[in-house]
Amino acid sequence: MGESFRQSMTWLHSWAGVVIGALLFAIFWMGTLSVFDREIDRWMIPDTRLSTVAAPPSLDAVAAVAVGLVRPEHRAWLATLPTDREPVVKLFFQDSEDHFESRFLDPATMALLPEAGSWAASDFIFPFHYNLNLEWMHIGYWLVGILGMAMLVMLTSGVIIHHRIFTDFFTFRPGGKLPRSSLDLHNLTAVVGLPFHFVITLSGLIIFFSIHFPGVVPIVYQDKQADFVKEAYGVVQRDAAGVPGDLASLDAMRMRASELWSGGQPYFVRIWHPGDANSYVEMRRSFPDTVTMNLDAVYFDGPTGAILHTHTAKPVMTVQRFLSGLHFIQFEHWTLRWLYFVLGLSGCVMIAAGFIYWLESRRKRHAAQGLAGVRIVEGLAVGAVTGIVTATLAFFVANRLLPTGATVLGYERYALEIWIFYLVWLASFVHAWIRPGHAWREQGWTIAGLAALAVILNGVTTGDHLVRTLTEASWAVAGMDLALLAGASVAAFAAWRLRPRAAVSLSFKQPAE
């Protein structure tokens, strides 16, 4: 630690940053992409590029399809209803270990769509953001939680070590020496985005409070932990009877729920113990026009349709759901959605610029003293920044190249896409350590090439090229293609600025989709 409080915070900031910056960038990058998860889903699962339906589909018609797919090991099935961003009915079948299988329905025809063949954004990019796809023992949630706490530590220590926060708001000297301009950029993105970065990190932790502080409920509630779930989330349970039973009309139940919610509509419906005399129906209210993700729920008796239980969140829980809603942005607001995306990218730039400042302020000294630090950290930074962008684009390109039903060595199509992501990411680190001094530029060109290729492949394999998607106002697919082209341009420009003879004006690689 240093002599003074500010010195100890400076030490903490630079060393915590360099140790965890790589994973933090991955989480910020995947979170930024998750802002447009549904749009990426449409791009990666072309069968779901449907036009929006005017009226919500009949739940009884959905049930007629679902019942045919339920197997004995399923203890529940549930359906999420179509929205503007997700024009399909998503059916999920939940087994006794809470594993979910999913299928998509076209809400206009009730036809089952072909299997998705991709985890796309909703099942790969988004979970990567909050658990790195490490489900075992919640280890991924814990890692992300530790990184979230470290991010809060760095934001606070970053503010403490600052001499002149207000001035930094207006300071960027891109023409200066690289340590100077990278520190300016780090400060600029950090100071401008500070409220966003702090709130997004804290709310991300608060969403998973029960995972991060797992002892509180068991200690306080002792052997009555189910009471907490009922009080806090309105979750009630009933055992199966073991005797077959009918299911009353779901559409009638939806009307009852809508009356209770003064016109509100369910966004999902779940049938527990389907086909059993003790089956019951859970409906949860949608929140398209509020930040708060309400916990309004109604439970119905399956065979009779009688109301069993209703729930509304209490005040503190409503605050928790407001903070969750700030993070999840499930409300419909395109301007804010783009703002989140831009602020997410600015967080990526902040982390990358922090890396570059660390490197450039030590490069000469390390070279003079024969230390390997800069070389090791530079490889880490390249793999973490341009490497994960390259891997994401390889994921998109693989999605458009792998044929339907492809399997290799027993791995299904969706798993092959994920393997390609991880192998390319790993290769980017190897490349960065083998080619110091060239890796930023070469991965920049790779990003530009892969992003452009992804746009071309989308046009060729689906026929939804930009001319068509723009004229037919198919915004999800058009937006993805345009973002890819914008990312390709930025990456190509950065790589061109990094061309060997212009080493002095080393430019900054902006991560972009």
Partner 1 sequence: MGVPHRTAVSPPGLFSALKLISRILAAVVGGYLLSAGLITLAAMALGFTMAQSEAVVLVSMLGFLLYLAVLLWSFAERRLWRVWAVTAGGAAATVGLALWLAPLLAG
For binding to partner 1 (CB under 8 A), which residues are involved? 1-2, 5, 7-9, 11-12, 14-15, 146, 149, 152-153, 156-157, 202, 205-206, 209-210, 212-213, 215-217, 219-224, 227-228, 231-232, 314-317, 319-320, 323, 361, 365, 369, 371
Shortest gap between Cβ of 189 and partner 1 (angstroms)?
A: 21
Q: Name the residue nearer to partner 1 (CB basis): 5 or 422.
A: 5
* 3-class DSSP state of 90: strand
Q: Name the residue nearer to partner 1 (CB basis): 210 or 461.
A: 210
Shortest gap between Cβ of 373 and partner 1 (angstroms)?
A: 9
CA atoms of 102 and 119, how far apart (whole Å): 11
Q: Name the residue nearer to partner 1 (CB basis): 12 or 380.
A: 12
8 A C-beta contact, residue 76 and residue 101: no
* 3-class DSSP state of 387: helix
* 3-class DSSP state of 105: strand
8 A C-beta contact, residue 331 and residue 291: yes
Shortest gap between Cβ of 232 and partner 1 (angstroms)?
A: 4
Q: Name the residue nearer to partner 1 (CB basis): 107 or 204.
A: 204
Shortest gap between Cβ of 454 and partner 1 (angstroms)?
A: 38
Phi/psi for 311 (5° steps) reads -145, 140
Shortest gap between Cβ of 8 and partner 1 (angstroms)?
A: 5
Shortest gap between Cβ of 195 and partner 1 (angstroms)?
A: 15
Q: Name the residue nearer to partner 1 (CB basis): 114 or 218.
A: 218
8 A C-beta contact, residue 384 and residue 30: no
Q: Name the residue nearer to partner 1 (CB basis): 367 or 467.
A: 367
Task: Please identify which residue in the block is written with the tokens 């002892």.
Answer: 215
CA atoms of 351 and 24, how far apart (whole Å): 8
The distance from CA 92 to its chain's CA centroid, rounded to whole angstroms, is 20
Shortest gap between Cβ of 190 and partner 1 (angstroms)?
A: 17
DSSP state, 58?
P
Q: Name the residue nearer to partner 1 (CB basis): 202 or 348.
A: 202
Pair of tokens at residue 383: 């793999």
Residue 410 to residues 117, 182, 421: CA-CA distances in angstroms?
14, 46, 18
- Give 299's strand partners: 282, 309
CA atoms of 26 and 387, how far apart (whole Å): 10
